[in-house]
Amino acid sequence: MAHIDEYIEKRTVTMAILLSFDIDGTLEFGEPPGGVTKEMVQRAHDLGFIVGSCSDRALSSQRAIWKQLDVPFAFVKAKHQLGTVKGEFPADAYYHIGDRDTDVQVAEQAEFGFWWDHEAVSEPWLDL
Partner 1 sequence: MPRPIPVPDATSKPFWDACNEKRLIVQHCTYCDRKQFPPEPECRECGWHFHLSWLETSGRGTIVGYSVTYESRIQAWHPEQPFNNVIIALEEDPVINFHSNLPGVPVDEVPVGATVEVEFLEVTDGQLIPEWRVVS
Partner 2 sequence: MAKETGWERNSDPLGIWEHRGKVAMVGRGHSTTDRRWDGESMDKTLGAYSLVAAQNAMEDAGISPDEVDGIISSAGGQANGQPLGEVWAPRPYFDPPYDSEDGLSHVTAEWLAKQLDLKNVTYMNSHGDTVWNLIGQAAQAIGDGRATVCLVTYPNGNMAGRYHQESSLEASGNAQWSSPWGWGLSGQGFTFDQYCRKYGSNHDRMAPFIVQEHKNGRLWPYSYYALHEPEPFTEEDYLNGRMIAKGLSIFDCDRPVQAAACYVVTTAERAKDMKQKPVYILDHTESAFRPRSLVQTLDDTEEWTDIQAKRAYAGSGLTPDDIDLFSPYDGFAVFTQYFLEAFEWRGVKRGDAHDFYAGDISLEGPNPLNAGGGNMGTGRMRTVFITDSMEQLQGRAGPRQVKGKAEIAVTIGVLPGNAGCLVFSSTPD
List residues binding partner 1 (CB under 8 A). 80, 101-102, 105
Which of partner 2, partner 1, none does residue 58 bind (CB under 5 to 8 Å by kind)? Answer: partner 2
Can you tell me which of 29, 45, 50, 79 binds partner 2, judged by CB under 8 A? 79
Q: How far is the CB of 67 from partner 2 (least distance, A)?
A: 9
Contact 27, 21 (CB under 8 A): yes
Max CA separation in the chain (angstroms):
38
Can you tell me which of 63, 89, 105, 121 binds partner 2, judged by CB under 8 A? 63
Which of partner 1, partner 2, none does residue 105 bind (CB under 5 to 8 Å by kind)? Answer: partner 1
Can you tell me which of 12, 60, 70, 90 binds partner 2, judged by CB under 8 A? 60
Q: Which residues bind partner 2 (CB under 8 A)?
A: 31-32, 56-61, 63-64, 78-81
